[in-house]
Amino acid sequence: MAEEGARGRGPAGERAAVADGPCCTIVWTMRGLEADRPLSASVGDYLKAIWELSGSGDISTTDISRRLSVAPGSVTRALVRLREKGLIEHERYRGASLTELGQAEALRLVRRHRLIETFLLEHLGYPWQDVHDEAERLEHAVSDSFTERLAEHLGHPERDPHGAPIPAVDGSLPTEDAFPLSRAEGGRRVRVLRVAHEDAPALAYLGERNLVPGSLLTVEEARPLDGAVTVRGEDGLSHSLEQPLAGAIFVQSLP
Ligand SMILES: [Zn+2]
């Protein structure tokens, strides 16, 4: 994008608004906000972080600061701007939550991110522990049109390489009845649905042991006290997992 256009309602912004159709309002908002310096993380990063953290209610500045590795002062300033743009609601002592507009934008970016991850794994031979960081970089560079061509090319996958659901174009997500492996009972057979972990060494560890989405496991021992489990894979090998790893592996019960 040209520097002039990035700074406000310049020519590049107008072209983007026309090209992106129904998303033009959001594109305007994003471009306008990205141009306001200093922000050490992008608008999209903030929206995705709030969306990802929002399972636990309103999100504090500290939560976001930790998640994005950004100083709390920068987060506070960014939240003020996100609220001015109508993307979040934010009250000082209650924390932040996404507005409908913010939610739609977050889901649009999550869709893009997860499709890119799938492409990197399936077509470029990336190991699954490396796709997240690469997708974080690429998602800022591609358009909605590229994203939809990618979805078409990949055959409209429903889940990314970590098993996380890919939001549909309308932002909808499937419901799922998965639970953390740390809460599985001994003797049960389970299937791994997704791994909610982004740490590359942890993912590499799980990948080497085939503790990945789709794998069938038998829970040999479960310790409810500390959530540690021992599982046996289809290859007959047993693996002991402790928290937080065991809590990041979401499984479904098999009959
Ligand atoms: Zn990711």
Which pLDDT score is estimated for 59?
87
Cα 118 to averaged position of ligand 1 atoms, centre (Å): 10
Which pLDDT score is estimated for 41?
67
Question: What is the token pair recorded at 141?
Answer: 């560079």
Last residue of a domain, one of 173, 208, 229: 173
Mean of the pLDDT values across residues 65-94? 91
Of 2-11, 36-45, 81-90, the range with the lowest mean pLDDT is 2-11
Co-location of 13 and 89 in the same domain: yes
- Sorting pLDDT into bands at 50, 70 and 90, what band is 232? very high
94 vs 28, more confident = 94
**Terminal-residue alpha carbon distance, the chain:** 54
Cα 122 to averaged position of ligand 1 atoms, centre (Å): 15
Cα 4 to averaged position of ligand 1 atoms, centre (Å): 31
Which pLDDT score is estimated for 56?
64
Cα 160 to averaged position of ligand 1 atoms, centre (Å): 8
Instruction: Encode pLDDT of 153-190 as tens digits.
Output: 999 999 999 999 999 999 999 888 999 999 999 999 99
- Sorting pLDDT into bands at 50, 70 and 90, what band is 151? very high
Co-location of 25 and 112 in the same domain: no
DSSP 26-73: HHHHHHHHHTSS--SS-HHHHHHHHHHHGGGSSBPHHHHHHHHT--HH
How many Å apart are CA 175 and CA 204, to the nearest integer?
27
CATH number, position 61: 1.10.10.10
The answer, yes or no, to whether residue 148 has pLDDT greater than 70, is yes
CATH number, position 241: 2.30.30.90
Domain residue limits at 147: 108-173
Co-location of 84 and 128 in the same domain: no
pTM higher than 0.85, yes or no? no
Co-location of 31 and 117 in the same domain: no
Last residue of a domain, one of 173, 189, 209: 173
Co-location of 89 and 163 in the same domain: no
Instruction: Encode pLDDT of 14-49 as tens digits.
Output: 333 333 333 333 333 444 444 333 334 689 999 999
Co-location of 94 and 113 in the same domain: no
Which pLDDT score is estimated for 42?
87
Co-location of 25 and 85 in the same domain: yes
Cα 132 to averaged position of ligand 1 atoms, centre (Å): 4
- Domain count within the chain: 3
Cα 68 to averaged position of ligand 1 atoms, centre (Å): 13
Cα 216 to averaged position of ligand 1 atoms, centre (Å): 23
Co-location of 50 and 73 in the same domain: yes
Last residue of a domain, one of 65, 84, 101: 101
Cα 22 to averaged position of ligand 1 atoms, centre (Å): 26
